[in-house]
Amino acid sequence: MKPLHFMSLALGMALALPAFAQSEAHKMDAPKADKPKTEAQLSFGALKTLAGEWEGKIDTDYPAAKDAMGDKPMHVTMRVTSRGNVLVHEFQEANTPLDASKYDHPVTMLYLDEDKLNLVHYCDAGNRPHMVGKMSPDGKKLEFEFTELSGSDRFGHMYHAVFTFIDDTHHIEEWIFLVKTPKGEMPIHAKFDLHRKA
């Protein structure tokens, strides 16, 4: 390549580079069109509207639990944390102190991972079942299917959960626990009819 051609090429590039950089900087500053939200993002957004304090009665098909609970209401606290990335869900018997040595107080964490809405239940049975959620076509029911278990399932484990959205002050939660019996696993159903307290 002749020196003159090389100099012309270098000069042309030197003049073009600032214009290109300015053009790229402008593109970076330009507002980006929001991508449509995925089903998992919409479902997580719906769940986060449940943040607050809830109380309601429990209905179960397990006689021992029914006898132990009687008409005592359950209290559920849900709060958004970690810059909006996690919803913490906590169960406890209503009107009892937060004393983990005397009372059950299971915690559930709900979060997005890529395009999946995940639920990890930190159970008082000492294990952590993982489930993945899917919203019903009408947007009223969010159903979580079991995927895997961490920890022992000696006493059984939580297997399924459904959140049904009624309105801003009322929702229903249904949980299925698989208990170990000599004949195999037996599902125990619990339904919480919850009304907003705060």
Average pLDDT over residues 169-185: 94
Average pLDDT over residues 78-86: 97
Q: Of 177, 194, 195, whose CA–CA distance to 186 is shortest?
A: 177
> What pLDDT sits at residue 71?
76
Q: 55, 197 in Cβ contact below 8 A? A: yes
Q: How confident is the model at residue 65 (pLDDT cuts 50, 70, 90)?
A: low
Domain co-membership, 147 together with 66: yes
Say which amino acid occupies 178: L
How many angstroms from the chain centroid is the CA of residue 58?
22
Please tell me what DSSP assigns to residue 61: S
List the structure tokens of 110: 């709900």
Cβ neighbours around 170 below 10 Å, total = 14
User: Are residues 91 and 187 located together in one domain of the fold?
Assistant: yes
pLDDT of residue 128: 98
Question: Which residues, 6 or more positions from 147, have their beta carbon under 8 angstroms from its beta carbon?
Answer: 130, 131, 132
Six-digit token string for 39: 């089903």
pLDDT mean over 69-77: 84
Confidence band of 16 (pLDDT split at 50, 70, 90): very low
pLDDT at 56: 96
Q: Which residue has the tokens 């009819």?
A: 193
pLDDT of residue 4: 45
7 and 83 part of one domain: no
**Average pLDDT rounded to a whole number, residues 33-52:** 94
Q: What is residue 95's predicted lDDT score, i.e. its pLDDT?
A: 83
Total domains in the chain come to 2
- Give the rounded percent of residues in the chain with a pLDDT score beyond 70: 78
Q: What is the pTM of this model?
A: 0.79
Question: Are 10 and 67 within one domain?
Answer: no
- Are residues 171 and 144 located together in one domain of the fold? yes
Do the Cβ atoms of 154 and 145 come closer than 8 Å?
no
Same domain, 56 and 144: yes
Is the same domain home to 13 and 75?
A: no
Residue 10 — left, alpha, or beta (φ > 0 → left; ψ -120 to 50 → alpha)? Answer: alpha
Residue 146 and residue 91 share a domain: yes
Regarding whether 6 and 70 lie in a shared domain, the answer is no
pLDDT average, residue stretch 56-73: 78
Q: Are residues 28 and 46 in the same domain?
A: no
On whether both 10 and 46 belong to a single domain, the answer is no
Clarify whether residues 18 and 73 are in a common domain: no
Q: Which domain holds residue 92?
A: 39-196
Sign (positive/negative) of CA torsion 163, 77, 47, 104? negative
Q: For residue 108, what pLDDT is reported?
A: 98
Tokens 């297997």: give the residue: 159
Task: Round the CA-based radius of gyration of the chain to a whole number and report it.
Answer: 26
- Name the band, by pLDDT with cuts 50, 70 and 90, for residue 63: confident
Average pLDDT, the chain: 85
Q: Which strand (E) or helix (H) includes residue 65?
A: helix 63-69
CATH number of residue 171's parent domain: 2.40.128.20
Beta strand 141-151 with 127-135: parallel, antiparallel or unpaired?
antiparallel
pLDDT for 7: 42
Q: What is the pLDDT of residues 93-135, one digit of tens each?
A: 888 777 777 667 899 999 999 899 999 999 988 999 999 999 9
